[in-house]
Amino acid sequence: MNRVLLAFLITLMTISLSAQDDLMDLLNDSKKEETIFTAATFKSTRIMNGHSIERMPSGQLDFRISHRFGRLNSGAYELFGLDQSNIHFSLEYGITDWLMVGVGRGSYEKTYDGFIKLSAMRQSSGLKNMPVSVSFFSSMAVETVKWSDPERTNYFSSRLSYSSQLLIARKINQAFSIQVSPSYVHRNLVPTELDPNDLWAIGAGGRIKLTKRISLNAEYFYLLNANNEYMSQPVFNPLSVGFDIETGGHVFQLIFTNSLSMIEKGFIGETTGQWTHGDIHFGFNISRVFTLTNRSRHSEAK
């Protein structure tokens, strides 16, 4: 009797294990039949100064305030730069889940700027396997600071500059993301004939997640055609490091950078400080998101 019962139990366990294997195969096949998009490659639409591949979802408005203080090497008399302040604020809106637009104003050269950013590809696995996410960014800026020589003939077009970037990013795992940003900046008017109207740069940035709500971020732009031997003033490659701190509807970024400007035309082409000389600006970005329209979206794992 005991032998019969033991044989029955062994048979039952074999059938159960076989059924579990069949169920796992069905689940794996189901996953392969759907596309799983990668979410939260970066926690913000900025890595530090530069844009990330992230964009605002449809119907959401991001009110962003950015500060950069003076240089740390200015000494105790200037409270290590805190006596000085440079500000930029912007409104950035998701028109669709793949297109966002933004407008802003900065105290640096009293500049107004506007941009569009669209998602061309999204990193995904499953039915559609895409190894990277790709976004395209384009902006225009206009300086409104008073002309240095109002007696000469000054043209409005001389105030304009344009920037374009291809943003290519990959979320390696839940803790680590990287991005490469080929960049182009055109300035209609430059200080002298020695300065190029067109600037080309390669940017690289990354994010390392330290805790559930805090990450370490860094970015660097290498100028390809800037030659300080011939330009009217030396410019240097911008390097920025800092932290993302997520607090509910806010993303708070603490930044150390050798660039004072917070738009592409400025930090790519007009960075005059050097890290090795202590020309470092402390600053921060504050992002507050508002939902303006109700919409239904599929939830995405972060």
269 plus 123 within the same structural domain: yes
11 plus 51 within the same structural domain: no
55 plus 78 within the same structural domain: yes
Specify the CATH number for the domain of residue 198: 2.40.160.40
166 plus 18 within the same structural domain: no
Q: Is residue 297 part of a domain?
A: no
pTM listed for this prediction: 0.83
pLDDT value at residue 31: 52
pLDDT value at residue 110: 95
Q: Is residue 37 part of a domain?
A: no
pLDDT value at residue 285: 95
Q: Which domain holds residue 18?
A: 1-32
Q: What is the DSSP letter of 42?
A: S
In sequence order, the β-bridge partners of residue 105 are: 89, 112
Q: Is residue 41 part of a domain?
A: no
5 plus 125 within the same structural domain: no
Q: Is residue 39 part of a domain?
A: no
pLDDT value at residue 194: 84
Q: How many domains does the chain have?
A: 2
Q: Exposed/middle/buried for 276, CB within 10 Å: 0-12, 13-18, 19+?
A: exposed
Q: Is residue 299 part of a domain?
A: no
Segments in the chain below pLDDT 70 = 1-32, 229, 249, 295-302
103 plus 27 within the same structural domain: no
**Whole-number Cα distances in Å, 154 to 157, 194, 269:** 9, 20, 22
